[in-house]
Structure 1
Amino acid sequence: MTELATIGRTNQQRCDLSKRIFRRIVPLLCVVYVISFLDRTNIGFAKDRLEVDLGISAAAYGLGAGLFFLSYALLEVPSNLLMRKVGAKWWIARIMITWGLLSSAMALVQGEISFYVIRLLLGAAEAGLFPGVILYFTYWFTREERAKANGYFLLGASIANIVGSPVAGLLLSLDGLGGLHGWQWLFIVEGVPAVVLAFIVLRVLPDSPQSASWVTKEEVRDLQARLDAEADVAQERTGRHPVAQVLRDVQILMVIAVYFCHQVAIYAVAYFLPSIIGSANSLTPIQTGLLTMLPWLASGVGALLLPRLATTASRARLLIATALIVMAFGFVLGLVAGPVLGLVGMCISGFVFWCVNSTIFTFPASRLTGAALAGGLAFVNSCGILGGFVGPYLMGLMENATGNPASGLWAVAVLLVVGAVLAMLLRQGHEGPSVDTPARKSSLEFD
């Protein structure tokens, strides 16, 4: 009875620590991602005005929107490795300051060339934020808790669009104020919060449990022992995995392929949804912003409810595959139905947007350790995020060819089905070729 009581106390203490960690670091990082996603996608609301004021065509817009992801992908691995050396808070703050300044500099765009250049610089500035936070969570959460933490972090993307859509509509309505276009006000105003928040990150965010004043030494030792035990299992199963060996792991290559298909869809929607909705009727910028908010509101609800279902490897696979199929269905409904049902279809897709991001990184994280974990997560994200280049570029080309800003969604739906098939073949590092090993129920519950 005494031994059982001791185990019960230990589990309760671990649960309390998990809750404390979550409340201390995840909300702040969620706000960081809100600003990040807002600044990388706000050009979706400026698309039509850039065409009118600067003569930037749909194809050029799609290329410029996607160029962000080329420089972003190129620099993610070195960024993650540097964060591991210099510390999380300093590196995340550096990322935020540079991307905030460059986001505001989008107001200086004069034509296609300057549009391309600033988008490339913005991608370089923000490189490493997402995989850096995913790596940072591996310092604090065991494998069974990470999908849920990732899900709440990714909620920031939904919040960015829920809040950003009507705000963008209001800022676009300032056209002519101070001699500036509304889209210039949009970029200037929305770049400032990143710089301000960077100094809060420097003050509040600890680099690791060892440097956190609100974690006791005993808690640090226990948490580190559990994380080390997981790393030992991964290393025994897969070896040391230098970053170069990531390319030899078929499972990680499949993760990249699935993530790529998903990112094509996410950024096709993020950069073209305002234009798709605005083309259905004669709407004001504020009305377009309010309607654009609805699919992202659905995505926020899904981000809260769905990732916690991924408590085993088999459930994680099924959740990812189902989400991709549901997204494809919602896009097709949006294409073949009228404006009202079309918006419903986009909301159905939105509900499952973040199931993939929050879950898929648990697969490579279960197969890598040490520096290979830092580089490997960044490598997976770098390759997958190239879908962010393909999605907008494909949408722009299809709009130029057909005159319909939604026509590219047919190709996106096909890619999502391919991704769903591949998702069912994924295996975590602790699994055999076809045997699923359940994780314990997550202790990260929220009051």
Structure 2
Amino acid sequence: MSHDVEAAFDARESIEKEKQESIIQLEDAKSPDNAGFVIDPHAERRLVRKIDMRMLSVATIIYLFSFIDRNNVGNARILNKNTGDDLLQTLHLSDNQYLIGLMVFFIAYTLFEVPSTYYLKKFRPSRWFSLLMLLWGAMTMTIAATQNFAGLIVTRFLLGAFEAGLFPGIVYCLTFWYKPSERAARIAFILAGATLGGAFGSAIAFGIGQINGAGGLQAWRWLMIIEGAPSVLAVPLIYFFYPDYPESVRWLSQEERELAAARIAGVASLGHAKLTWADARAALTDWRIYLHHALWVCYSVAFSSISLFAPTIVQGLGFEGLSAQLFTVPPYAIAFVVVLSVARLADRFEARAWAVCGSFLICGISFAIQGALSPTAFTARYALLCVSVSFAFSIAGPQLSWFSGNLRNTSQTTLGIPLHVSIATFGQIIGLFIYKSNESPSFPTGHFTNAAVMFTGAILTFILRAVYVRRNGRLARGEPPWKL
């Protein structure tokens, strides 16, 4: 660990001794075996609730808007299709051109994730997220002006570049505020914004579909304008209210800042710590980290395919026109509840690996059954789609908490989290090509591919957990255990 980090820990130890308003001393603190102070659990709970109100509310709003803006192209693809006014017919796109338009977003996402997280650290989260939000909201609205395939490619690439730093940046920021045991439920809460985004996005598309032709614009163009505008309008909120680092925020009192820093000392990232090449090499050469990356790739296949093709899948289940938009809402609404429940159980029982493994298995089974069902079994397919969406999204919270909890220092976290999300983009690109419109309504390629990937993810999770169990059995005295 760098000298800066050691100095930070020394400073925090002196703070704990000087400030006792929020830290109490045990009766046996004077004994030779206990020379320190213990954090007052009541003060800590009050502080965590205060942090949650600020961090989770603002982060969820940001992620909800970003999810809507990146995935509204899926609704635009079928919006007013029966009148010839959907995205593909208006811009004269083939199915392959549409897929390329989706893919360039992820190429940009991959290229800019790590640099964006670096600049987040350099310029402070509140400033960097505000800038990104302004740019991606404006770019979403600009998509409404595109007239051809080239315009769609350029705008989608820039949208991917501007959104690239958001999700890894949010997860990275959580490591400055929360202990590893507190992260899964909070990551899941923010990710639940994606399920709300899917529900709201489809409901909004249904409503906007009713004004097709207003002002001489197709409804999908209004969709881009109306869904991009909130991101731009919310920029001042993010700039003034998004929390930066516990050591420096003004909305906490001096005592609360000291408690916020003291409670995560030694188990979480430091806002002022620097990235060192030695720690960077350690993050890049530790093979167990690549197993985590592989899990995230598996998750990303289902995540991207469901997020972008849910309206198409629902349309293939017998719902036509605007009804296909409306019936995309229930799967996301159910997923919101399931995602939060799985993450809560994972944190409560310190069972993140089992939560990830179980979600992979349930999701894989539901996809396999969907692939095997008769093309006309619409009711069963729709029910299983709800299961698939719920447990595909449930993987993320526990997996990211598990991964970030096993990054040993701030430098590894600074590099590891954006690299983790960046590598997973390969899974998202795979997800773009597995649901083929000519296989509607059964979509066997899409469902069976997702099933195989989910089962692979379950197997890898079991192996990775076994690796950590074995490492814990070989720990030296005083060495922190690996999270399970």
Common fold: TM-score over 0.5: yes
Which residue of the partner structure matches residue 342 of structure 1?
381
SS at 1:229 equivalent: coil
1:10 aligns with 2:40: yes
Which residue of the partner structure matches residue 6 of structure 2?
none
Pair 281,424 (structure 1): closer, same or farther in 2 beyond 3 Å: same
Which residue of the partner structure matches residue 51 of structure 1?
88
Deviation at 1:438, TM superposition (A): 8.8
Give 1:62-73 correspondences, 5 Å limit: 62-73=99-110
Cα deviation 1:113-150 (Å, max 9, x = unaligned): 22222111110011110010111111111111111111
Which of the numbers 123, 130, 139 marks the counterpart of 1:102? 139
Which residue of the partner structure matches residue 460 of structure 2?
422
CA distance in 2 between counterparts of 1:386 and 1:116 reads 19
CA distance in 1 between counterparts of 2:316 and 2:393 reads 26
Cα deviation 1:77-115 (Å, max 9, x = unaligned): 111111111101000001100000111111122232222
1:262 aligns with 2:299: yes
Q: Indicate the RMSD between aligned Cα atoms, in angstroms.
A: 2.7
Cα deviation 1:177-226 (Å, max 9, x = unaligned): 11111111111111000011111111212311223333232332233234
CA distance in 1 between counterparts of 2:87 and 2:25 reads 70
Pair 166,258 (structure 1): closer, same or farther in 2 beyond 3 Å: same
CA distance in 2 between counterparts of 1:403 and 1:290 reads 19
CA distance in 2 between counterparts of 1:241 and 1:433 reads 22
CA distance in 2 between counterparts of 1:5 and 1:30 reads 43
The one-letter amino acid paired with 2:114 is: V
Which of the numbers 287, 290, 295 marks the counterpart of 1:250? 287
Which of the numbers 384, 400, 422 marks the counterpart of 1:382? 422
Pair 282,165 (structure 1): closer, same or farther in 2 beyond 3 Å: closer
Q: Normalising by the residue count of structure 1, what TM-score does the alignment of the two structures yield?
A: 0.89
CA distance in 2 between counterparts of 1:207 and 1:118 reads 30
SS at 1:139 equivalent: helix
Number of residue pairs the alignment of both structures matches: 430
314-323 or 263-272, which deviates more: 314-323
Which structure 1 residue ranges, 5 or more long, are not aligned?
233-238, 441-447
CA distance in 1 between counterparts of 2:418 and 2:221 reads 32
Cα deviation 1:380-411 (Å, max 9, x = unaligned): 0111133222211333xx335x4557332221
The one-letter amino acid paired with 1:23 is: M
CA distance in 2 between counterparts of 1:404 and 1:21 reads 46
Which residue of the partner structure matches residue 393 of structure 2?
354
1:21 aligns with 2:33: no
CA distance in 1 between counterparts of 2:148 and 2:441 reads 23
Q: Is the 8 A contact 1:362 1:428 kept in 2?
A: no
Which of the numbers 445, 450, 474 marks the counterpart of 1:412? 450
Which residue of the partner structure matches residue 329 of structure 2?
293
Q: Is the 8 A contact 2:471 2:482 kept in 1?
A: no
Which residue of the partner structure matches residue 357 of structure 2?
321
CA distance in 2 between counterparts of 1:30 and 1:369 reads 26
Which residue of the partner structure matches residue 392 of structure 1?
432
Which structure 2 residue ranges, 5 or more long, are not aligned?
1-23, 30-36, 79-85, 270-275, 476-480
CA distance in 2 between counterparts of 1:73 and 1:298 reads 30
The one-letter amino acid paired with 2:434 is: L
Deviation at 1:424, TM superposition (A): 1.4
1:140 aligns with 2:192: no
Q: Normalising by the residue count of structure 2, what TM-score does the alignment of the two structures yield?
A: 0.82
CA distance in 1 between counterparts of 2:54 and 2:350 reads 31
Structure 1 stretches of 4+ with a deviation exceeding 4 A read 4-9, 427-432, 434-440
Which residue of the partner structure matches residue 411 of structure 2?
371
Pair 249,179 (structure 1): closer, same or farther in 2 beyond 3 Å: same
Pair 242,250 (structure 1): closer, same or farther in 2 beyond 3 Å: same
Pair 289,11 (structure 1): closer, same or farther in 2 beyond 3 Å: same
Which structure shows the bigger proportion of residues in helix conformation?
1
CA distance in 1 between counterparts of 2:440 and 2:167 reads 34
Which residue of the partner structure matches residue 17 of structure 2?
none
Which residue of the partner structure matches residue 221 of structure 1?
258
- Higher-Rg member (1/2): 2
CA distance in 1 between counterparts of 2:424 and 2:155 reads 22
Cα deviation 1:242-270 (Å, max 9, x = unaligned): 33432321211011111111111111011
Answer 1 or 2: higher relative contact order, Cα 8 Å, separation at least 6. Answer: 1
Pair 28,182 (structure 1): closer, same or farther in 2 beyond 3 Å: same
Deviation at 1:165, TM superposition (A): 0.9
CA distance in 2 between counterparts of 1:428 and 1:18 reads 32
Q: Percent identity?
A: 26
1:303 aligns with 2:339: yes
Pair 176,5 (structure 1): closer, same or farther in 2 beyond 3 Å: farther
SS at 1:209 equivalent: coil
